[in-house]
Structure 1
């Protein structure tokens, strides 16, 4: 199978996936409006990405940034893209230490074939992905905030900027896929964020990076999310 490599760097590679000129011969006779992307080790999960052709340039755009966010793929990581035919691609991800990422966390939530969960928020200069784990905690000020009749969960913020994983038990009981309001407890201001269900996790995705940047939420901070209405989460942040 034909393959090509792309190294993510700040800027255009986070917005589009450019198909190299020398690779285009493998897909020119099979071009479609949409391409289907899969992670090599999760072939039952797929993301639809829109294909653009301008002159001799071919690239994937709408859906590409969401694909990166949903897999917490950040700058400095290497992608090996394999063409499987009929505009279907399999992708391997290698971190900054050139180690292949195969440890995507597993949950009981199955893929719903997300397509074009676009969001206008820029991710800005927040540190890129280094870990895909979260810690559930229950102490001090964060614990006090959870003592109410509203369901809540508490996590330590990881050092990647895109999606934030929601504990599986909480998401199964209380969250549905869609757009939610995030309300900073001390400000009262609202931010829109998407809750997305993937084959590997449930995440706060589009809009989360904007909220994190606007409120200077940093790696190691303790955040408690309280579901006060059907689509509203109040967030309390305890700095590291």
Structure 2
């Protein structure tokens, strides 16, 4: 019986082998999460080019390319990411994968409340470029998600503008309260800066404002160093895709050590290409 952080023990149900994965947001695209257990090397992937078809219970399927990895196969990021995004996954869902033959794995999705997903999630959070071509429904069945996406984007942009305005106001307040002995204060006006207020989701991952990311952040997933005002460093992973720019692995630890809580106001100053200083005004101090 083989186990690791990303996938569960391989089980046998008569002639159908199966395994499971538990989706944690900070680990979604890791090699261990995309790894197909050795048991499936010969039973699932018999054809060339190497690929696997992931099929859900409501009939939709995704073709994901494979590459050889440590004696078995690794699902390539592009196809795996599309499967996750199209199904809005990443909130501790439990997935089972069952070998149906012909390079096909049937996927059962269980939400964190233990209920199985039998239909697609209604609220769409994927990009407008996502394809609905695999859904075998009438043409009009695809119109609602597209309209919902446009409406959602409008609301999101409006909310982002309001959040940015709030951040600017709090940033001014933060500068007035800043310690005159802060070693970074002298140069704070000379470096790129962004701010946000801590919400529950930001205690797990920290999304970077799109404008700031486009102007100042690297176009690749890489390691960042975040210092506290006294210079103590923390390593975090800056995760980059076309649709998301955020601090993922390491951020949760930093948030805990900083004592961050909902309502705290955070300001980030980019002092080097991959280094920042984080200053915090706790909600209790406002």
Cα 1:91–1:166, aligned 2, differ >3 Å: closer, same or farther?
Answer: farther
Give 5+ residue unaligned stretches, structure 2. 20-39, 130-155, 176-184
1:216 aligned residue: 259
Instruction: State the alpha-carbon separation in 2 of the partners of residues 89 and 153 from structure 1.
Output: 44
- 3-state SS, counterpart of residue 224 of structure 1: strand
Any conservation in 1 of the 2:53–2:103 contact (CA below 8 Å)? no
**Equivalent of 1:73 in 90, 94, 99:** 90
Structure 1 position 51, deviation (Å):
7.9
Q: Which has the higher contact order (CA 8 A, sep 6+)?
A: 1
* Per-residue deviation, residues 191-214 of structure 1 (Å, max 9, x unmatched): 011111124311111211111111
Give 5+ residue unaligned stretches, structure 1. 1-11, 54-59, 109-131
* Per-residue deviation, residues 34-75 of structure 1 (Å, max 9, x unmatched): 99899x99x79999997899xxxxxx9xx9xxx9xx988345
Is 1:16 matched up with 2:60? Answer: no
Instruction: State the alpha-carbon separation in 1 of the partners of residues 194 and 123 from structure 2.
Output: 27
Any conservation in 1 of the 2:235–2:250 contact (CA below 8 Å)? yes
Any conservation in 2 of the 1:79–1:92 contact (CA below 8 Å)? yes
Instruction: State the alpha-carbon separation in 1 of the partners of residues 267 and 215 from structure 2.
Output: 17
Mapping 1:12-161, distance limit 5 Å: 15-18=5-8, 19-22=10-13, 24=17, 27=40, 29-30=43-44, 73-75=90-92, 77-79=93-95, 86=103, 94=111, 96=113, 100=121, 102-104=123-125, 106=127, 135-136=163-164, 137-140=167-170, 144-145=174-175, 148-160=189-201, 161=203
Instruction: State the alpha-carbon separation in 2 of the partners of residues 164 and 47 from structure 1.
Output: 30
Cα 1:173–1:215, aligned 2, differ >3 Å: closer, same or farther?
Answer: same
Cα 1:221–1:31, aligned 2, differ >3 Å: closer, same or farther?
Answer: farther
* TM-score normalised over the length of structure 1: 0.55
Q: CA RMSD in A?
A: 4.9
1:3 aligned residue: none
- 3-state SS, counterpart of residue 148 of structure 1: helix
Cα 1:159–1:236, aligned 2, differ >3 Å: closer, same or farther?
Answer: same
Q: Which has the higher strand share?
A: 1
Cα 1:25–1:194, aligned 2, differ >3 Å: closer, same or farther?
Answer: closer
Structure 1 position 179, deviation (Å):
1.2
1:188 aligned residue: 231
Q: Which has the higher helix share?
A: 2
Any conservation in 1 of the 2:53–2:63 contact (CA below 8 Å)? no
Is 1:174 matched up with 2:221? Answer: no
Structure 1 position 90, deviation (Å):
7.0
Instruction: State the alpha-carbon separation in 2 of the partners of residues 221 and 197 from structure 1.
Output: 25
Structure 1 position 231, deviation (Å):
1.3
Instruction: State the alpha-carbon separation in 2 of the partners of residues 182 and 159 from structure 1.
Output: 20
Any conservation in 1 of the 2:17–2:99 contact (CA below 8 Å)? no
- 3-state SS, counterpart of residue 190 of structure 2: coil
